[in-house]
Amino acid sequence: MTRRRLLAALMIAVLLIVTACSSQENSNNNASSPGSESGDGGSGEPSPPEKAYILTKVEAGTELSDDKAVLDEIRKETNVEPVMIKPPAGTYEEKLNIMLASNEPLDAFIVSDWTEFKKKGMIRPINDLLELAPELVSNYTQEEWDAVTDKETGNIYAIPFANTPIGNAPRIREDWLEELGLQMPTTLEQFEQVLEAFHFTDKFGDNVIPLVTHLSFQQLDRAFMGLWTEYGDHHWIDDAGNVKPAILHPGYKDYIAKLAEWYAKGYIWKEAFTQEINAINDLVAQDRVGVLATWVSVGMTGIDTLLGEKPEARYNYMRTFEGPAGSAYSLRLPVRQGIAFSVNSKNAEAAIKFFNWGVSNPTNRNIIDFGLEGKHWNWVDQNEGIIERVAGAEKQYSGMFSLVQGATTLGSTDRTTSGQLWAEFFNFTSDASIVLKKPADYGTIYDEAKINETVPSVSDIDKLRDRWLVKFITGQEPISKWDTLLAELNKLGLDRLVAERTRQYREQAE
């Protein structure tokens, strides 16, 4: 770890300690000053709520009848009035630019990449604000905070968007395993035995498909590639110190060769690389799929339908999956999106107070997500985070205050089949025992605009790579032509892409 990375990590750790201490101190102060929480200065008269001006991507004209009732509850609990500024459809960026260039009040807003706004001097660090928001700090992972932190200074520039660190682990029909006398596989060898058993059994009909996936190599890579590469689907660094994409790792070719072998044996759905996602839902609903190797939402409506007809059907996640290079799974890196604060903000503390309140506990989170307890929703099992939505409630509250949401573990689900499936997923993705591989250049913040300027053909490189990989897996091209693929990628600029990433990586590592 470089000195600067160590410094950034230490600063985050100190921030967590400081916020915890601040929380205790504030609690003690509030206990001794009954009027302080409502901002009355001890006079007994509540002060007017502070306004926090927040630009949201929720479109104008989407208001519902109970939005004001939810706002009244927020004001009562926080003494803050969040003013949610909603632009007309398709005009968010335009509205943001106008507000930043004018004297219109603006405290917080959504950014797709905080680094671009920092370069232009439009946003401020929020380390001081986070000292006032201990619950907000604790509800995000270290990786999520890393994604919005300037590693040079340790300054944090946004409240991160919640990230699910994994969402591509294979889901297996566990009830089928039980009928065949098999255990949930934990190794590559055991997984292949399951695929073979699903392929040759006649217990589940004549049209069983052992493994279903779809045309998105990012999904496949996150589910399987770590079995052959020590950094999963992320960048790795060669002996010369060059930052290279996963496809250039020696193990990647072995990974594609294994997928080609599975395809040839009939384990992988023959239409995987030509059909749309909806077709997968149909296959699942028809009780034909043994393993789903997809993003979590793909196939979920099919499972919902299947369970209506066959409630004993049960898909379960592989929490452990290891091969020659260790864990199969790659960390799904948080993005640079988040909630940033204008450098000209006049009410930043009010905004952070509102955001912190919204993630202070599951009930508050439900209020900003679903509306008022007892009117729009009720607890079914608070410990498990299960609620029941009041009929018609979705037509009463628009969810307009649900902006900063914190960790996924705070979110509630209803007791519908769909809600239970999502609850199972959030339980799975929050399992700290799952081994997720990080990139070798973890923590490096690349200037993507500079990369695209240097190599304008980045998207063409990705498209060419995917076309070749489909041909290899489906047998249209022999794996012996691997070097031909690499040569064509270099013609498009893959070598220049490696050089630019390496330059930026070394510059930040100095």
Rounded distance between C-alpha atoms, residue 344 and residue 106, angstroms: 8
Joined tokens for residue 507:
């510059």
- Neighbouring CB atoms inside 10 A of 373's CB total 14
Joined tokens for residue 486:
């690499």
**What local confidence, expressed as pLDDT, does residue 40 receive?**
53
**What local confidence, expressed as pLDDT, does residue 270 receive?**
94
- Neighbouring CB atoms inside 10 A of 50's CB total 19
Is 58 or 179 the better-scoring residue by pLDDT? Answer: 179
Q: In this predicted model, what pLDDT tens digit does every residue of 44-78 receive, in sequence order? A: 667 899 999 999 998 888 999 999 999 999 999 99
DSSP classification of residue 139: T
Percent of the chain with pLDDT over 70: 90
Task: Label residue 43 by pLDDT band (50, 70, 90).
Answer: low
Mean pLDDT of 142-146: 91
Where are the domains positioned within the chain? Answer: 3-36+50-164+334-414, 449-509
Contact, 370 vs 378, CB < 8 A? no
**What local confidence, expressed as pLDDT, does residue 179 receive?**
97
Nearest one of 491, 500, 499, 510 to 450, comparing CA atoms = 500
Rounded distance between C-alpha atoms, residue 273 and residue 28, angstroms: 60
Q: In this predicted model, what pLDDT tens digit does every residue of 77-113 receive, in sequence order? A: 999 999 999 999 999 999 999 999 998 999 999 999 9
**What is the amino acid identity at position 312?**
E
Contact, 351 vs 131, CB < 8 A? no
**What local confidence, expressed as pLDDT, does residue 414 receive?**
87
CATH 3.40.190.10 at 3-36+50-164+334-414, yes or no: yes
Joined tokens for residue 254:
């072995």
Helix axes 362-370, 67-78, angle to 10 degrees: 150
DSSP classification of residue 268: B
Is 282 or 1 the better-scoring residue by pLDDT? Answer: 282
Mean pLDDT of 379-387: 90
Q: In this predicted model, what pLDDT tens digit does every residue of 314-342 receive, in sequence order? A: 999 999 999 999 999 999 888 899 999 99
**What local confidence, expressed as pLDDT, does residue 7 receive?**
36
| 315-317 sheet: strands from edge to edge | 209-212, 289-292, 171-173, 315-317
Q: Can you list the alpha helix ranges (DSSP code H) found in 310-447?
A: 348-358, 362-370, 417-429
Rounded distance between C-alpha atoms, residue 330 and residue 230, angstroms: 10
